[in-house]
Structure 1
Amino acid sequence: MLCSAAGEKSALLWSMRSFALIRRLEGHQSSVVSCDFSPDSALLVTASYDACVIMWDPYTGEQLRTLRYGGVRPCGPSCDIHTSSLRSVCFSPEGLYLATVADDRLLRIWALELRSPVAFAPMTNGLCCMYFPHGGFIATGTRDGHVQFWSAPRALASLKHLCRRALRTFLTTYQVLALPIPRKLKEFLTYRSF
């Protein structure tokens, strides 16, 4: 699959075999400007000017979690898009963290299982962010052409997470749901229980 964000209120998922549209992911209240797949391809995150990050199951199109910028303010038309617009989102290489850049002059790092950021860094004119392939550092780009490097939190992945990541690299959500295993295990493997 390939995901595209073209400034609409939705992201588009495309088949890389047939180059046909698989589905439209709708749920944002403003333009989607950034998207990224988790390292195991079992999750997709989208960031929008509506100050929300939505975590999706790309196989089913289901919204799994919404991270709201600012913590208290609801997403929607009432958001102040001039100060809180998201510009970029990316997964860490181990799939345990997300990094986001917004117009509020902050780089935020989110733990995948929490609903609030675990680290902040001040930056101005932020435009994009990307993790170093081996983790531990994030590069951010600014509108004035500068690149900044930041130290990022690192965590040793649990054996549970490593097993889930190994399985989900090869199995779709539908294949996991068809396995003859307990419901709780299916929920864990499909990121329904964080």
Structure 2
Amino acid sequence: MKNGTKEKGKLIQVLSGHTHWVYCCSISPDCSMLCSAAGENSVLLWSMRSYTLIRKLEGHRNSVVSCDFSPDSALLVTASYDTTLILWDPYTGEKLRQIIHVSLSRDLDYSTAEPQLSSLRSVCFSPEGLHLASLADDRFLRIWSLELEEPLSTAPVTNGLCCTFYPRGGILATGNRDGQVQFWTAPHVLSSLRHLCRNALRCFLPTYQVLALPIPGKMKDFLTYRTNY
């Protein structure tokens, strides 16, 4: 400290473990974990308390380039060049769901096209944690519901690279290779009481504590996102 002011720009910590460029980092909203994606087939989860590696999440078949935590920190989503999104339980490392991007482009024959033509570029959670947005090289923005297998809505986005939700919901921004930022309408939903309760509990209860609760198994499955009902 100098003259009563805090020193700015000081390096606090360095995390080493990747062998490629780090494309994306995401800190969990409860500030307990950091996920880093570095163009490898896996991502690394780090403790924000001890700055040590918690675990490596393996499941993709190509480079992972984007990641994001749900608002309650109970879920982690990763996006890869292998055209898939994977939803993880970051506390256990369990793969909960895999979403495959089926092409929507009429200009390409994906039965013969190269896989990189639908490589994923970005993924993010909505503020209430019920939706995902993803951008892929097939020139489409997709919005997903956690409860559905197919996209909830789609929109053509040429050369999209990144996406993010407005913190209050209802709007989504995308960034493109041509230097533009575009804004899109997004689902603006009223969360159910069940989801609000789950969200409130998961903000301070990690998975292993939920599983230790003396409650019915179906309720545990719902609270840990194994089921949506």
TM-score (normalizing by structure 2): 0.80
Residues 123-152 of structure 1: per-residue CA shift (max 9 Å, x gap): 100000000000000000011211000001
From 100, 120, 123, give the equivalent of 1:68: 100
Contact 2:82 2:116 in 1 (8 A): no
Distance (whole Å) between structure 1 residues aligned to residue 57 and residue 116 of structure 2? 24
| Residue 49 (structure 2) pairs with residue 17 (structure 1) | yes
Report the counterpart of residue 75 of structure 1 in structure 2: none
Report the counterpart of residue 74 of structure 1 in structure 2: none
| Residue 162 (structure 2) pairs with residue 128 (structure 1) | yes
Instruction: Identify the structure with bigger relative contact order (alpha carbons < 8 Å, sequence gap 6+).
Output: 1
Residues 79-122 of structure 1: per-residue CA shift (max 9 Å, x gap): 83331000000000000100000000000000111111010011
Distance (whole Å) between structure 2 residues aligned to residue 190 and residue 158 of structure 1? 16
Distance (whole Å) between structure 1 residues aligned to residue 56 and residue 155 of structure 2? 33
Q: CA RMSD in A?
A: 1.4
| Residue 219 (structure 2) pairs with residue 185 (structure 1) | yes
Q: Which has the larger radius of gyration?
A: 2
Contact 1:51 1:79 in 2 (8 A): no
1:84-163 to structure 2, matched below 5 A, reads 84-163=118-197
Distance (whole Å) between structure 2 residues aligned to residue 22 and residue 36 of structure 1? 17
Residue 188 of structure 1: how far off its partner (Å): 0.4
Contact 1:50 1:79 in 2 (8 A): no
Aligned residue pairs, count? 189
Distance (whole Å) between structure 2 residues aligned to residue 140 and residue 15 of structure 1? 30
Query: What is the DSSP-based 3-state SS (H/G/I as helix, E as strand, rest coil) of the residue aligned with 1:186?
Result: helix
Residues 16-64 of structure 1: per-residue CA shift (max 9 Å, x gap): 0111110000000000000000000000000000000000000000000
**Gapped regions of structure 2 (runs ≥ 5):** 1-32, 104-111
| Residue 72 (structure 2) pairs with residue 40 (structure 1) | yes
Distance (whole Å) between structure 1 residues aligned to residue 191 and residue 150 of structure 2? 19
TM-score (normalizing by structure 1): 0.95
Distance (whole Å) between structure 1 residues aligned to residue 164 and residue 157 of structure 2? 15
Question: Match for 1:141: what amino acid?
Answer: G
Distance (whole Å) between structure 2 residues aligned to residue 26 and residue 116 of structure 1? 24
User: Among the aligned pairs, what percent are the same residue?
Assistant: 70
Query: What is the DSSP-based 3-state SS (H/G/I as helix, E as strand, rest coil) of the residue aligned with 1:117?
Result: coil
**Gapped regions of structure 1 (runs ≥ 5):** 72-77
1:46-65 to structure 2, matched below 5 A, reads 46-65=78-97
1:26-37 to structure 2, matched below 5 A, reads 26-37=58-69
Q: Which runs of 4+ in 1 moved over 4 A?
A: none
